[in-house]
Structure 1
Amino acid sequence: MYLLNKTMGLVLLILSIGFQTVTAQQINDGDRPNIIFIMADDLGYGDLGAYGQELIQTPNIDALANAGMKFSQAYAGGPVCTSSRSVLMTGLHNGHTVARDNVPHYPSYLQEGDVTLAQVLKNAGYSTGGVGKWSLGDAQMEGRATNMGFDTWTGYLNQDHAHYYYPSYLDHDDRKILLSDNPILRNNYSHDILTNATLNFIRENSKKPFFFYSAYTVPHFSAPEEDEHGLTVPSTYPYTDKDWPEAAKKYAAMIYRLDKDVGKIVKLINELGIRENTLIIFTSDNGGHSNAWKGFKTNGKLKGYKRDLYEGGIRVPFIASWPGVIPAGQQSDEVIGFQDMMPTFAGLSNASIPENIDGVSVVEALKGNALPENNRVLYWDFGHTRQRYDQAVRIGDWKGIRRGQGQPIEIYDLAGDVSEQHNLANAHPELVNKIDKLMQMMVIPSPRYPVGQVYKGGPIWKKDW
């Protein structure tokens, strides 16, 4: 990770250099694994049995954790959908990546010349596919998935389209899959289509190295006109008879379907005989939503929710399984983030990566080892064009948060206060000053995200039914 003097001259210099490449040679070509990256949408840190959930059953995801490793300190790229996906795809943190918030709405966030994780692996000879919510470029735009390294993509290119689980169409590569009268008849639940597309891709590409990105949309809320609780699901099974609010049953049923389909993916790669050479990662794009039933404790002991820069908004479940390489049944307390996936996967695939990315390889952490000591700084921000602009920095076990421009910085020692209950700013003025400077230095200003100018626009995508 690099620190940048916040001057426009340096910004322009950096932007003019462009991306050069370096090659990560960590394993032999014959040992390159398939990589399946499964990401839920708005699934909280505490929503899985492996992370302490007691009411919602997630046996297949828990089995994946038992067969591999769960990370206790894994961070999403941002506290909302678009920024988190952008960090994952570009290897650049929230202050550098091209898409930094869900608003303003743009038809394309990624531009020609941006380098994505999918492009890195495709250039290394991998087949690349994905399903679900893309968010980084609409149909026909330069930032669409199939123009950014994916051989195929099925789902929602636009994130507002993804608010409908019974849509009239889904995007598929450069065309549409028409689902006539689906909003009325409700014959095709989109999550089921995404799983079928995932399984088909794995079958068709099982004889060669592949990367697959399952960006599932459950349990993200749906459009209110589609479901009175904003949680569209075909059935509340197996929680129909629970003495819970109806919305809670629906939320749990969405996670049930997600867990069941993770089981289908694992079952298929076992049947195809490729399990020993397949890395599977399961995670979430940000913290759980504040609307989730409080009985579930969606974010466990963590403070805050989606859209917050407290731990509940950005710390996510992260499970990695690769038989024979990743130790089974272990927990890693190493600090990792979505920006680390690009250099990590490049190291596993002998791929070339852009210089000046913020991520670092965490291959050693996947193997159960400690990462080398470093002075790494993790950075997030949110609300550039909203009513309040927030920033957060983590250095070692220290976390600094500023909730609004000009507001005091809060300081927390995450080693002993993961719930962020004890603000230690008054006891550490020198640390407050250091984090204040870092909050200025870690951001390359973007004309697309003018801080303090409240966005007045609305979604670009409009439903056609």
Structure 2
Amino acid sequence: MHLRKKIMGLALLVLAVAFQPTTAQQISNEDKPSIIFIMADDLGYGDLGAYGQELIQTPNIDALANAGMIFRQAYAGGPVCTSSRSVLMTGLHNGHTVARDNVPHYPTYLKEGDVTLAQVLKNAGYKTGGVGKWSLGDAQTDGRATNMGFDTWTGYLNQDHAHFYYPSYLDHDDWKILLTDNPILRNHYSHDILTNATLNFIRENSKKPFFFYAAYTLPHFSAPEEDEHGLTVPSTYPYEDKDWPEAAKKYAAMIYRLDKDVGKIVKLINELGIKDNTLIIFTSDNGGHSNVWKGFKTNGKLKGYKRDLYEGGIRVPFIASWPGVIPDGSQSNEVIGFQDMLPTFANLASAAVPENMDGITVVEALKGNALPENNRVFYWDFGHTRLRYDQAVRIGNWKGIRRGQGQPIEIYDLAKDISEKHNLANAHPELVNKINKLMEKMVIPSTSYPVGRVYNGGSIWKKDW
């Protein structure tokens, strides 16, 4: 009977597609804020109306921004999916976290002993759930989401699997939702199932503090065998009549669907009467893709794209809304990163923060105040297992980038040059030397990612869109 109920529940999941800030003192569960962290996949810094997009309409996400705060200098954990998600979950920056690249996948799993954001909140009494792309551990491995602090997870545990919007199955906890004929019949668009699971979780847990991680896959490019443009979407509505390339219509339609479902989440929070004690964050896992139609200016004025350590690869939209705590219609220029989410959420949940975190709590920034540590060192790298290993460091307004081992370090003043057009390395040799030392210091080689290792496993791009 239990098995039958489980199967019926999974079937219904598919068919139904249709705070005050706290200190570290002990507080009751009723006073702890719920947290919803919505993360798009490969959404560029300039893809939202709130960040200057003029062609793609994002009214619901823009409304979230109008009711909260836009961060202008927020950074993803890394320039690609896996590293960014690992930084988010562990509170460790790109040179320390467990998973630092999309390839090779399999040595990068989280393992027993690794502490995640979800585990910290679960230990503090939160119900924890998530949907979408996990990337940090396949089914039946120690790194699977439900072994890393999540009470429930629906979506894609395997990163490669997430390239299919009409998959033959989705992972649900330690089960699979079978959609056997879906790749042919295209009955179930995965994003719709993920949103349905999101809304169900919020309804079922609205009377207690919860953490929900909506790791949506839109608008990530899909497998080329699923769509000729690599942009699988049921329709190009409402852009079908635009004088744009077909691929551009599809990309815009993906963002339309994403925006529409963010609106559904916000609407439900309001209907349940829990908006005043719910922090909602919307962001992206890294910068926009270079294949996006140039007319959209996916990364705005930023240089570079996904996989780059220029700002276009790592600076992301970041919107936070929390009525009564976050000032309406506000903006922040405080520099924050994904590594800050674990200590921040732990602070809000009155939970113990693991030792040796690279992140800090940014609750003061959420309230519209300056952070006490305004000269922090931020670090990113990319290419441990590729033909070229890049590194980047930000200190205050200064940014240093080295594109390949043995190559010269470039220096940019981001306060005056957000587009990184003017390399000032020759004028600041002392800063070049300082950043060079930081690049050596900030990365800890691991068995999966020894510095400078060249990947010899065949084509590294085949499954790494």
Give the TM interval when normalised to the shorter protein.
Answer: over 0.9
State the distance in 2 between where 1:230 and 1:224 align. Answer: 5
Asked whether the equivalents of residues 108 and 448 of structure 2 are also in contact (C-alpha less than 8 Å), the reply is: no
The residue aligned with 1:218 is 218
Aligned ranges for residues 247-286 of structure 1 at < 5 Å? 247-286=247-286
Tell me what 2:24 maps to.
25
Name 1:366's counterpart in structure 2: 366
When residues 26 and 65 of structure 1 are mapped into structure 2, their CA distance, relative to the original with a 3 A threshold, is farther
State the AA in 1 paired with 2:451: V
Give the match for residue 13 of structure 2.
none
2:88 maps to what in 1? 88
Cα-to-partner distance string for 1:206-235 (whole Å, 9 max, x where unaligned): 010000000000000000000000000000
Alpha-carbon shift at residue 61 of structure 1 (Å): 0.1
Aligned length: 440
Structure 2 counterpart of 1:153:
153
CA distance in 1, matches of 2:342, 2:25: 14
Corresponding residue number in structure 2 for 1:78: 78
Secondary structure (helix, strand or coil) at the match of 2:264 reads helix
Which amino acid letter does the alignment assign opposite residue 195 of structure 1?
A: T
The answer for the alignment partner of 1:65 in structure 2 is 65
1:100-129 per-residue CA deviation (whole Å, 9 max, x = no partner) reads 000112066100000000000000000000
State how far apart, in whole Å, the 2-side matches of 1:429 and 1:33 are: 47
1:412-427 residue pairs with structure 2 within 5 A? 412-427=412-427
Q: Residue 104 of structure 1 contacts residue 449 of structure 1 at CA under 8 Å; is this kept in 2?
A: no
Greater mean alpha carbon deviation, residues 261-270 or residues 28-37: 28-37
Q: What does 1:169-188 align with in structure 2 at a 5 Å threshold?
A: 169-188=169-188
Give 3-state SS (helix, strand or coil) of 2:276's partner: helix
The yes-or-no answer on 1:34 pairing with 2:42 is no
Aligned partner letter, 1:325: V
| Alpha-carbon displacement from aligned partner over 1:159-210 (angstroms, at most 9, x marks no partner) | 0000000000000000100012000000000000000000000000001000
Give, in whole Å, the separation in 1 of the partners of 2:355 and 2:271.
39
> 1:120 corresponds to which residue?
120
After superposition, give the CA deviation of every residue in 1:334-370 in whole Å (9 maximum; x if it has no partner): 0000000000000100011211010000000000001
RMSD: 1.6
- Structure 2 contact 110–136 (Cα < 8 Å) conserved: yes
Question: CA 1:319–1:140 in 2, change beyond 3 Å: closer, same or farther?
Answer: same
Contact 2:280 2:320 in 1 (8 A): yes
State the match for 2:341 in structure 1.
341
Residue matched to 1:102: 102
- Aligned-pair identity in percent equals 88
- Normalised by the length of structure 2, the TM-score is 0.93
For 2:99 and 2:45, the matched residues in 1 are separated by 24
Task: Check 1:241–1:275 CA distance in 2 against 1; reply closer, same or farther (3 A cut).
Answer: same
**TM-score after normalising by structure 1:** 0.93
The AA in structure 1 aligned to 2:434 is K
> Counterpart of 1:63 in structure 2: which amino acid?
A
Pick which of 28-37 and 344-353 moved more: 28-37
Provide the C-alpha distance between the structure 1 equivalents of 2:315 and 2:141, rounded to a whole number of angstroms: 32
Kindly state the Cα deviation for residue 26 of structure 1 after the two structures are TM-superposed.
6.4
Q: Post-superposition shift, 1:151? A: 0.1
Q: Is 1:53 matched with 2:49?
A: no
SS of 2:335 mapped into structure 1: strand
Q: Does the aligned pair in 1 maintain the 2:99–2:108 contact within 8 Å?
A: no
* CA offsets 1:285-338 (integer angstroms, 9 cap, x no match): 000000000000000000000000000000000000000000000000000000
Counterpart code for 2:259: D
1:307–1:313 CA contact under 8 A, matched in 2: yes
Are 1:164 and 2:175 matched, yes or no? no
Look up the equivalent residue of 1:330 and give its one-letter code.
Answer: S
Please state whether the residue corresponding to 1:313 is helix, strand or coil. helix
Q: 1:378 to 1:213 in 2, by over 3 A?
A: same
- Unpaired segments ≥5 residues, structure 2: 1-21
AA of the residue aligned to 1:177:
I
Structure 2 residue aligned with 1:11: none
The CA distance in 1 between the partners of 2:72 and 2:458, in whole Å, is 37
User: What letter matches 2:47 in structure 1?
Assistant: D
- When residues 58 and 458 of structure 1 are mapped into structure 2, their CA distance, relative to the original with a 3 A threshold, is farther
Amino acid at match of 1:152: T
